[in-house]
Amino acid sequence: MVTLKINGKKIDVNEDSTVLEAARKNGIEIPTLCSSEALKPYGACRLCVVEIEKDGRTVIESSCTCLAKEGMAVKTNSQRVIESRKLVVELLLARCSNVKKIQELAEEYKITDSPQQWNKENEYCILCGLCVRACNEVVKAGAIQFAGTGMDKIVDSPFHQTAEDCVACGSCAFICPTGIIKKNDLESTSIYFPERCEQTGPKREILNWQVEQKLKECTVCGNPFAPEPHLDKIKKDKNLPKEFFNICPSCRTYPVVDEDKCLGCGGCMENCPIGALELDDRGGYNKKSKVYTDNCTGCHTCEHFCPVQAIS
């Protein structure tokens, strides 16, 4: 544990905590646009800057990348901090004047105008990097990256073509703070040929990356619930059985073994298509069936092969 002061208040936090985490855990709000608990600290937006006293002098640092240290003194609302944040908001307002979050920040910091020569008409991407980092760090698809430099810097798919590695998980759209990334789930799609029309079923499209992927349909309720490439990637990464996502989360129920009825015959184990059951040997003839839900697909095949209805 380390002890530091934030706005004069003594705070005890773990050694690996950042100043931003320490502040938030103690009810001290620091604004940020590029921070997420699911991602590594990045320090891109510079909105979370704070003033830190070091060796008798003060420096301005981003709180999301600065680790809390013993005896550190932090100010989150000093005049230097306010002026630094105002400059950041002015630049963001110049780039993305129509983004609601930026408008709210501008109002909070009493900014009414920005350099018009930098204004990009109808631009909604604030270059926070959340979508890129989520795709690379969490999903590990690597389908999108930053492209260009300076005022021309954008988030894009390789060569502005269809993002071949995109699994249509929608993480980029979910985490985007401005809503510029568009994800649509289509109930039915078709391909038209001169001689026929071919039904291609439900699909998800990510318009920004020119991606359209088929949605997996539940074998129980028939409803589409997730893109097939995303499910295939999870199965490969986690070494899951190929049938693992045949049933949607709403319909999936795991079998329960009534040990008082179970004979320990092993019929369920022998007929399980993915080996999710084993016999728990308790000595002698005392054997009971055990379900491993980490591998179970919820197909309930075991239930049909139990001779005494001990599985339900």
Q: What is the pLDDT of residue 225?
A: 94
Cα–Cα distance measured from residue 183 to residue 289, given in angstroms and rounded to the nearest whole number: 44
For the chain, how many residues are written? 312
At the top level of CATH, the class of 130-229 is alpha beta
DSSP letter at 151? G
Give the Å distances, CA to CA, from 28 to 2, 137, 152, 175, 226. 18, 28, 36, 23, 38
Identify whether the C-beta of residue 251 lies closer than 8 Å to the C-beta of residue 225: no
Of residues 282, 255, 283, the one with CA closest to residue 269: 255
Q: Which CATH number fits domain 1-119: 3.30.300.30, 3.40.50.10260, 3.40.30.10, 3.10.20.740?
A: 3.10.20.740
Cα–Cα distance measured from residue 182 to residue 174, given in angstroms and rounded to the nearest whole number: 10
What sign does the CA torsion over 207, 248, 189, 197 have?
positive
Task: Give the largest CA-CA distance in the chain.
Answer: 84
Q: How far is CA 88 from the centre of its chain?
A: 26
Write the single-letter amino acid at 194: P
DSSP letter at 180? -
Q: What is the pLDDT of residue 115?
A: 63
Q: Is residue 18 classed as helix, strand or coil in its secondary structure? A: strand
Q: What is the pLDDT of residue 114?
A: 67
Q: What is the pLDDT of residues 167-224, one digit of tens each?
A: 999 999 999 999 999 999 999 888 888 888 888 899 999 999 999 999 999 999 999 9
Do 1-119 and 130-229 share a fold? Answer: no
Identify whether the C-beta of residue 81 lies closer than 8 Å to the C-beta of residue 60: yes
pLDDT tens, N- to C-terminus, the chain (312 residues)? 899 999 999 999 998 899 999 999 999 999 999 999 899 999 999 999 999 987 778 899 999 999 999 889 999 999 999 999 999 999 898 888 889 999 999 999 998 876 665 556 678 999 999 999 999 999 999 999 999 988 889 999 999 999 999 999 999 999 999 999 999 999 988 888 888 888 889 999 999 999 999 999 999 999 999 999 999 999 999 888 888 899 998 998 899 999 899 998 888 889 888 888 898 888 777 888 999 988 888 888 888 899 999 898
DSSP letter at 218? -
Identify whether the C-beta of residue 240 lies closer than 8 Å to the C-beta of residue 294: no
Cα–Cα distance measured from residue 77 to residue 89, given in angstroms and rounded to the nearest whole number: 15
Q: Which CATH architecture has domain 253-312?
A: 2-Layer Sandwich (3.30)
Domain ranges of the chain: 1-119, 130-229, 253-312
